[in-house]
Chain A
Amino acid sequence: MTGNPVLDELLKIVLWGTLVILFVSVNALFLVWAERKISARIQLRQGPLHVGFQGTLQTVADAIKLISKELTLPKSSAKSLYMLAPVLVFAPSIAAFLVLPFSPEMPMRDLNIGFLLIFSLTNVTFIGVFLAGWASNSKYALLGSMRAIAQNISYEIPLLLSTMGVVLCAGTLQMSGIVRAQEHGWFLFNGQVIAFVVFIVSALAEANRAPFDIPEAESELVAGFHTEYSGMRFALFFLGEYTAVFISSAVAVTLFLGGWSGPLLPPPVWFLLKTYLIVFVVMWIRWTFPRLRSDQLMALAWKVLIPFALLNILLTALFIQLQRSLA
């Protein structure tokens, strides 16, 4: 370190930024490979085998292919918005890494509203999704982004409501604070089971994962909001999706599964292990269920998830108040 605080800070930002981008790319490559392997195992197949050991380099080859592909631009699209959309989907997911607590020392910024920041940032991606559909000027893309907006608005509510119980228990919005509050037991086993289930279901929907992938719905809308995208722009959507899955899982781990805490292994390893476990469950769900219809999706959010999330807040609040009055 140079001793100059400004320079130090700058260096830290550059270093951390590079690390995050590196991690996001490698993570996406790994997740795509894992998804292929997991889906293959579920579907009586072998998955990629030929490029690298067990096909590990297959996704690298695909990435090279995507980078070298032509970037098409539909004639009737709103060009600047069309090009902006993939960036808007991808960039916020990187920014969210700012506050993810990999270990006690590792969040770049341990903001006291880190929790809110993550949710605000992940929501920006939906503006990108909407823009992608709107700017493409294609009916399928428009339908896809229409569905995405409806889905986002509906599922944001249960997602945030389900985390309120945790916040009540922890008494802080700081990510590391929430993890520390779980030193005596994960929130999942301390009465937040309903919240965990609601969170996972809503997070699946927020990340556009099957069975909630109606904005993409390739059998209905061809490819939904990114129908008109090709090459690296398409790859950015893809990266954004896998990063979103990772972030959702990481937040679930932080809120419910005790974050980095665990015996023997160093904290970041525990954090990643738990996160990838959740990611595995997410993939498992994707390859097992048919897709919901959009109205059923809305009904699930408004009629099932939100009431349960509210009930959870009520019960948690009552419980905490009882505890306090007894103590």
Chain B
Amino acid sequence: MKAWLVSSVKPDEFAEKDPKSGVLFEALVGREHIREVAREFRTQGWFLESISIVDFAECFEIVYHFNKWGVARRACVKTLALKAEGEAASAPSISDVFRAANWHEREAYDMFGLVFEGHPNLKRLLLPETSKIHPLRKSFKGEPKGSDVEDSLRLIQEDTEGFEVRYPSQLTKSQKDYYLNLGPQHPSTHGVLRVLLHLDGERVLDGEPVLGYSHRNQEKMFEIQNYLACWPQFGRLDYVGAMAFNFGYAHLIEKAMGIEATPRAQAIRVLATELNRISSHLLWMGTFLLDLGAFTPFFYCFDDREKIIDILEMATGERLTYDYFRFGGLDHDIPEEMLPAVKAFVPEFKKRLKDYHKLVTKNPIFISRTRGLGVLTKDQALNYGVSGPCLRASGVRQDLRRDEPYSIYPTLDFDVPTMTDGDVWSRYTIRMREMEESLKIVSQLVEKIPAGDVTLGKLPKNVPKGEYYSAVESARGAFGIYLVSDGTLNPYRMKLRTPSFCNLSAFSEMIPGCLLSDVIAILGSIDIVLPEIDR
């Protein structure tokens, strides 16, 4: 790939990078070449991890991160979109090459007003369609009483945001199909997601998720805060698996500063993250089965989750939106009573897992509801940049804890379960087995947490100038952060590549032809967390 890039595209700039930085090489190509480059990446089996835009004085820099699962090989390709007076900056769209680009480009259009030529459906993604602002531009300073607030209020009153109600009298007699707004207030959308479904009776013709109901524009908030003040926001992105997001940010900044956390802090971080992964999967399992109409497993899952939350509360003082990690270590050490509690939890939970298998896994109704449903093939999954359990269920053996090892994961013994069917059943089985693997990690770690300090002491408040990309495996998939630092106290640009965002973009691919009940089951099986998608 490298050789091809250098010889046939002749990039304006090309730089090999230290593999430790997370990116193998970086290339700046002309915008006329970007589609050609994307096509070549696609044929060689790479997939698009994220598209980030950075706003510089004269131009927008569009940064494409391509990756190849296996031992992580990440490539960074950049192109420039010049700002011209009086017209919108533009770039060619690659959404027909990589489906994943569809939402990334819409987000870029939404946040920067950057027009992607050839995009099939270039409209706003996170902000309301009537919005007039492009908030991530450096020139945008916020308008608390500006046009958007007024517009939103008007929208709420007029109720015209695609919610039009069709009454029978207005329907023509031959019209069999209709639209159903599943959400934003609905028991099974796991937050405030709206799925605009096109139905024929109960049969789904197609559907499209509509995002943005819990959008807070955290990326803008990062830019106006210093690095330390960004911490609490990470726990609020994926509130169910907040530890992994803590981990992602700590990992990024430590990599940028060239420091490493103390051994004790590393061990506690992994312990907490894996416990949190189990509790996240438990919450998923409970709510997923609730979507299928089984009430009882929900309470069993929450009972177990409660125990984990109690344990993590001992360490962090928080029960949900953890804000525990710090650069180079942890906020504070764990209390004495935590490790015995973990030790007691491990055998208890092993027994419980057997109960779950008895109660759910072997239930014939459950099997018939999930087998062969919502199939996502390997190729589709990669095309959409799906990651985490959803990708592993489609037959790609990928786990950043293995492929792009960070912290002390290389020294631990655990498996990466994979299945090949890519259906709802596989996603369920993968998560069940992941809980076992996480439990394995926990039981290994709890015996050998090294003594020592958990902080590195005083650190500089700024991050050295440069660009950094780091990714960790959260409960839902690969969580990547792309940071552009100008050496000051605030990040210049921090783009979050969140796992559910990409996973949900593949949702439209899975639902055509199934029934309304299946839509709920498939949506549940993806395991989405809305604040992390909307950011």
Q: Interface of A with B (CB < 8 Å)?
A: 39, 42-45, 76, 137, 139, 143, 146-147, 210-211, 213-214, 217-222, 287-296
Q: Does B342 contact A (CB under 8 A)?
A: no
> Main SS of chain B's interface residues?
helix
Q: A139, A147, A217, A290: which has the most chain B beta carbons within 10 Å?
A: A290
Q: Smallest CB-CB separation from A218: which chain B residue?
A: B187
Partner of B187, one of A147, A222, A293: A222
Q: Are B292 and A294 in contact (CB-based, < 8 A)?
A: no
A72 to B17: give the CA distance in the assembly, Å: 65
Provide the residues of chain B in CB contact with A211, threshold 8 Å.
293, 365
* A143: chain B residues within 8 A (beta carbon): 202, 516
Residues of B within 8 A of A296 (CB): 365, 368-369
Which chain A residues border B296 with CB–CB below 8 Å?
A: 39, 42-43, 287-288
B289 lies within 8 A of A45 (CB): no
Q: Is A219 a contact of B515 with CB atoms below 8 Å?
A: no
Which one, B168, B292, B363, contacts A219 given CB within 8 A? B292
- Convert B162-197 into 0s and 1s, putting 1 for each residue whose CB lies closer than 8 angstroms to a CB of A: 000101100000000010100000111000000000
Q: Does B295 contact A (CB under 8 A)?
A: yes
Chosen A-B contacts, 25 in total, with CB atoms closer than 8 Å, are: A39-B296, A42-B296, A43-B298, A43-B300, A76-B165, A137-B167, A137-B168, A139-B178, A147-B202, A214-B517, A217-B517, A219-B187, A219-B290, A219-B292, A220-B517, A287-B295, A288-B296, A288-B359, A289-B293, A289-B294, A290-B293, A290-B363, A291-B369, A291-B517, A293-B518
Bound-complex Cα distance A319 to B102 (A): 68
Contact (Cβ within 8 A) A290 B517: no
A43 touches B299 (CB 8 A): yes
Tell me if A45 and B299 are in contact (CB < 8 A).
yes
**A289 in contact with B178 (CB, 8 Å):** no
B180, B294, B300, B518: the one contacting A139 at CB < 8 Å is: B180
A44-B300, A291-B517, A293-B369 given. 19 additional CB < 8 A pairs?
A39-B296, A43-B300, A76-B167, A139-B180, A211-B365, A214-B517, A219-B188, A220-B188, A220-B291, A220-B520, A221-B516, A287-B296, A290-B363, A290-B366, A291-B294, A293-B368, A293-B517, A294-B202, A294-B515
Across the two chains, which residue of chain B brings its CB closest to A287?
A: B296
**In the assembly, what is the distance between CA of A76 and CA of B298, in Å?**
37
Could you say which residues of chain A place their CB within 8 Å of the CB of B32?
none
Collect the chain B residues with CB atoms within 8 Å of residue A293's CB: 368-369, 515, 517-518
| B13 touches A (CB below 8 Å) | no
**Bound complex: CA A287 to CA B366 (Å):** 14
0 or 1 for each of B264-294: is its CB under 8 Å from A? (1 = yes): 0000000000000000000000000111111
Segment 290-313 of B: residues with Cβ below 8 Å from A: 290-296, 298-300, 303
Main secondary structure of the interface of A (DSSP, over half): loop
Q: B186 is contacted by which of A42, A137, A222 (Cβ under 8 Å)? A: A222
Q: When chains A and B are docked, how far (Å) is the Cα of A288 from the Cα of B299?
A: 12
Contact of B291 among A39, A43, A219 (CB under 8 A): A219
Per-residue CB proximity of B71-95 to A under 8 Å, as 1/0? 0000000000000000000000000
**B355-377 to A contact mask, C-beta < 8 Å, 1/0:** 00001000101101100000000
Contact between chains at B516 and A220 (CB < 8 Å): yes
Return chain B residues, CB-CB under 8 Å to A221: 516
Bound Cα distance from A294 to B369, whole angstroms: 11
Q: How far is the CA of A44 from the CA of B359 in the complex (A)?
A: 14
Contacting residues, chain B, for A146 (C-beta < 8 A): 201-202
**Which of chain B's residues have a CB closer than 8 A to the CB of A39?**
295-296
Measured between alpha carbons, how far is A76 from B167 in the docked complex, in Å?
8
Bound together, the chains give a CA A214 to CA B188 distance in angstroms of 15
Contact B369 A290 (CB under 8 A): yes
The A-contacting residues of B in range 143-167, CB under 8 angstroms, are: 165, 167
A-chain residues with CB within 8 Å of residue B290 when the two chains form the complex: 219
Total chain B interface residues with beta-carbon distance under 8 A: 33
Interface centre among B180, B187, B289, B300 (most CB of A within 10 A): B187
Q: Which of B178, B293, B300 contacts A291 (CB 8 A)?
A: B293
- Interchain residue pairs A-B with the least CB separation, the first 10: A291-B293, A290-B294, A43-B299, A290-B292, A219-B188, A293-B517, A219-B291, A290-B293, A220-B520, A290-B365
Q: Which of A39, A288, A289, A293 has the most CB of B within 10 A?
A: A293
Give Cα A217 to B363, complex, Å: 19
Q: Which residues of A contact B186 (CB under 8 A)?
A: 222
Give A287 to B359 CA distance when docked, in angstroms: 11
Which listed residue, B295, B298, B359, B369, touches A292 by the CB 8 Å rule?
B369
Contact assessment for B369 and A289 in the assembled complex, using a CB-CB cutoff below 8 Å:
no
Set B298, B300, B365: member contacting A289, Cβ < 8 A:
B365
Contact B289 A290 (CB under 8 A): yes
Q: Given the complex, which residues of A lie within 8 Å of B517, measured CB to CB?
A: 214, 217, 220, 291, 293-294
Of residues 514 through 535 on chain B, the ones whose CB sits less than 8 Å from some CB of chain A are 515-518, 520
Contact between chains at A219 and B293 (CB < 8 Å): yes
Chain A's nearest CB lies how many Å from the CB of B186? 6
Minimum C-beta distance from B499 to chain A (A)? 24
Q: Which residue of A214, A289, A294 contacts B363 across the interface (Cβ within 8 Å)?
A: A289
Q: How far is the CB of A115 from chain B (nearest CB, A)?
A: 32
Other-chain residue from B299, B366, B515 in contact with A44 (beta carbon distance below 8 A): B299
The CA of A42 and the CA of B296, in the complex, are separated in Å by: 7
Judge whether A210 and B293 touch: CB under 8 Å. yes
Residues of B within 8 Å of A289, CB to CB, are 293-294, 363, 365
Distance of B398 from chain A, by nearest CB (Å): 30
Nearest CB of B to A142, in Å: 9
Q: Which residues on the B side are within 8 Å of A294 (C-beta)?
A: 202, 515, 517
Minimum distance in angstroms from B159 CB to a CB of chain A = 12
Q: Which residues of A contact B363 (CB under 8 A)?
A: 289-290
Q: Are B168 and A295 in contact (CB under 8 A)?
A: no
**A139-B180, A219-B188, A220-B188 given; A292·B365 CB < 8 A:** yes
Known: A219-B520, A290-B289. A295 touches B303 (CB 8 A): no
- B311-341 CB contacts (< 8 Å) to partner A: none
How many Å from the CB of A197 to the closest CB on chain B?
15
CB distance from B89 to the nearest CB of A (A): 41
Residue of A nearest to B201 (CB): A146
Measured in the bound complex, the distance between the Cα atoms of B201 and A189 in whole Å is 44
In the bound complex, how far is the Cα of B294 from the Cα of A149, in angstroms? 23
Q: How far apart sit A44 and B296, CA to CA, in the bound complex (Å)? A: 9
Query: Chain B residues with Cβ under 8 A from A291's Cβ?
Result: 292-294, 365, 369, 517
Instruction: Tell me the nearest residue of chain A to B291, going by C-beta.
Output: A219
Separation in Å of the A201 CB from the closest CB of chain B?
12
Task: Let me know if B180 and A295 touch, CB within 8 A.
Answer: no
A128–B366 Cα distance when bound, in Å, is 31
Instruction: For the complex formed, measure the closest distance between the CB of B389 and the CB atoms of chain A, giving whole angstroms.
Output: 20
- Do A44 and B303 have beta carbons less than 8 Å apart? yes
Choose among A43, A214, A217 the residue that contacts B295 (Cβ–Cβ < 8 A): A43
Please name all residues of chain A whose beta carbon is closer than 8 Å to the beta carbon of B299 when the two chains form the complex.
43-45
CA distance A227 to B509 in the complex (A): 30
A143–B299 CA distance with the chains assembled, in angstroms:
29
Q: Which residues of A contact B300 (CB under 8 A)?
A: 43-44
Q: Which residues of A contact B201 (CB under 8 A)?
A: 146
Residues of A within 8 A of B516 (CB): 143, 220-221
Q: Given that A43-B300, A139-B180, A213-B293 are known contacts, is A295 also in contact with B365, CB under 8 Å in the complex?
A: no
* Contact indicator B293/A217 (Cβ below 8 Å): yes
> In this complex, what residue of B is CB-closest to A139?
B180
Chain A residues lying within 8 Å of B202, measured Cβ to Cβ, are 143, 146-147, 294
With A and B bound together, what is the CA distance between A292 and B293 in angstroms?
8
- B168 to chain A: which residues have CB within 8 Å? 137
